[in-house]
């Protein structure tokens, strides 16, 4: 089981409490699709992803960014049990969606960049360290059911 310090717990709660899911979720997914274009292959049914402008204007992408953040919210609410919390979602991504688990990390790096840009100078090294530790647990847990 992952151990969390009081600072880490408070920081993760604070980051998500201050986050506007409807802005940050889409922004993180847009970035992921633009910076790592091979991630677009999973969204073939989302219509036009022809260039960055099309991706940013695509309402299905925006909506899915929110879905992903709400999915992460489950980990925030279950910090002591992230692996079990994501067991089903991990099976879904592995067996049904066939998403390469490396992509979870790419998405979480994009999320870190979006949050850092919003927080500006307040996003200190200690805060980044707590956030990255949390995201690393999310990423490993989502990858747990891959064989
Ligand atoms: Zn994912 C889906 C979460 C990442 C791809 N996702 C999904 C969902 C959720 C999630 C919650 C819904 C489910 C149901 O419906 O049941 N994801 C998530 C998270 C994360 C993710 C938390 C973090 C990291 N994903 C991801 C990535 C990708 C993906 C990275 C790629 C690249 N997902 C996906 C898809 C889907 C999902 C494809 C399906 C969509 C539709 O709608 O179709």
Ligand 1 atom nearest 74 alpha carbon = 22
> pLDDT for 89-121, tens place per residue?
999 999 999 999 999 999 999 999 999 999 999
The pLDDT confidence band at residue 129, using thresholds 50, 70 and 90, is very high
Phi-psi region of 120 (alpha: psi -120 to 50; beta: other; left: phi over 0): left
The pLDDT confidence band at residue 62, using thresholds 50, 70 and 90, is very high
| Average pLDDT score over residue span 21-48 | 96
Ligand 1 mean position, distance from CA 21 (Å): 15
- Is the per-residue pLDDT at 10 higher than 90? yes
Q: Quote the tokens at residue 123.
A: 């996003």
**Which protein residue has the closest C-alpha to ligand 1 atom 11?**
71
> Which ipTM did the prediction report?
0.98
* Contact of 35 with 110, CB cutoff 8 Å: yes
User: Which amino acids bring their CB within 6 angstroms of ligand 1?
Assistant: 39, 42-43, 64, 67-68, 71-72, 89, 92-93, 97, 99, 103-104, 107-108, 138, 142
Angle at 107 between CA 104 and CA 110, to 5 degrees: 150
């Amino acid at each position: 089981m992952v151990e969390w310090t009081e600072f880490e717990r408070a920081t993760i709660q604070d980051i998500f409490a201050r986050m506007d899911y409807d802005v940050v979720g889409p922004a993180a997914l847009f970035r992921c699709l633009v910076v790592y274009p091979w991630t677009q292959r999973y969204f073939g049914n989302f219509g036009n992803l022809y260039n960055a402008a099309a991706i940013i204007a695509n309402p299905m992408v925006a909506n899915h960014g929110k879905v992903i953040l709400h999915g992460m919210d489950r980990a925030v609410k279950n910090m002591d049990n992230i692996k079990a919390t994501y067991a089903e979602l991990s099976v879904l991504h592995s067996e049904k969606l066939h998403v390469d688990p490396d992509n979870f990390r790419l998405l979480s790096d994009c999320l870190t960049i979006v949050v850092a840009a919003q927080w500006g100078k307040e996003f200190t090294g200690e805060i980044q360290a707590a956030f990255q530790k949390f995201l690393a647990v999310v990423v490993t847990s989502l990858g747990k059911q891959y064989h």
